[in-house]
Amino acid sequence: MITGWDRLGTRTIAPMRLYADRPVLRTRQLTADLLLLGWALLWVLVARAVHAAVLVLAEPGVQLESLGRSIGDTMGDAAGVAGDVPLVGDDLSSPFRSLGESGDGVAGAGQGLQDAVHTLAWVLAVALVVIPVGWALVRWATWRLGWAREATAAGGLDVELLAARAVATAPLPALAGLPTGTGAAWRAGDASAVRALADLELRRLGLRPGSEAGVDGAQLR
């Protein structure tokens, strides 16, 4: 929002403009907004597909973990049975316990592979959303929010300031399209020349002529 003061010293607040009054620019703005949403949705879908595809790589890790746990459980049971043999139980169960520990190691390696694949899947998914959508969002915000700030500020300016702005920044072809002598008339304070220049600036912003502040001397703060 833009705040200002009228000639009576009352503080005024102009609502933020989001869209232009003129159909051509408003259509471009709406199109840009929809394209941004579509672009974001597209990359979210791509990220979901890539995430699912990368998770397929975790399947060998699942099988490896299952194999390791199976070996560990089997060797653990065998070690228990061998340990029950009198006198030589400890010696007989020792190899089985070693194999069981190896199976647990294999299971741990399988789990580690799954964790690595899951991490990779999430990193790729996030990157596929953040990078392209962030790039588009920056470009969109630079144009859309920049316009919104200028258009909102223009709504709080009087015609004299808008005319001065047009004289300083309007493209030369646009100024050349004004009636001959407009510049001299503006310097002399001619109301029609001031109005013409102010309308030129409003048209540049896609606003309707006469949409500026109706109180002379409004100042932005």
DSSP code of 56?
G
Shared domain for 88 and 180, answered yes or no, is no
pLDDT value of position 18 = 83
Shared domain for 119 and 209, answered yes or no, is no
pLDDT value of position 207 = 83
At 186, the amino acid letter reads: W
CA trace torsion 86, 89, 92, 98 (10° rounding): 170
pLDDT value of position 39 = 96
Shared domain for 139 and 36, answered yes or no, is yes
Q: Which residue, of 154, 172, 192, is where some domain finishes?
A: 154
The candidate with the shortest Cα–Cα distance to 55, out of 127, 129, 119, 126, is 119
Shared domain for 68 and 107, answered yes or no, is yes
Domain count, the chain: 2
Q: 184 is written with which tokens?
A: 């001299």
pLDDT value of position 195 = 86
d(CA 55, CA 43): 18
pLDDT-flagged residues of the chain (< 50): 1-11, 214-221
Can you give the residue range of the structural domain that contains 115? 22-154
The residue length of the chain stands at 221
Shared domain for 7 and 36, answered yes or no, is no
DSSP code of 221?
-
Shared domain for 10 and 54, answered yes or no, is no
pLDDT value of position 16 = 77
Shared domain for 105 and 45, answered yes or no, is yes
Q: What angle do CA 186, 191, 192 make, to 5 degrees?
A: 85
Shared domain for 41 and 27, answered yes or no, is yes
pLDDT value of position 110 = 80
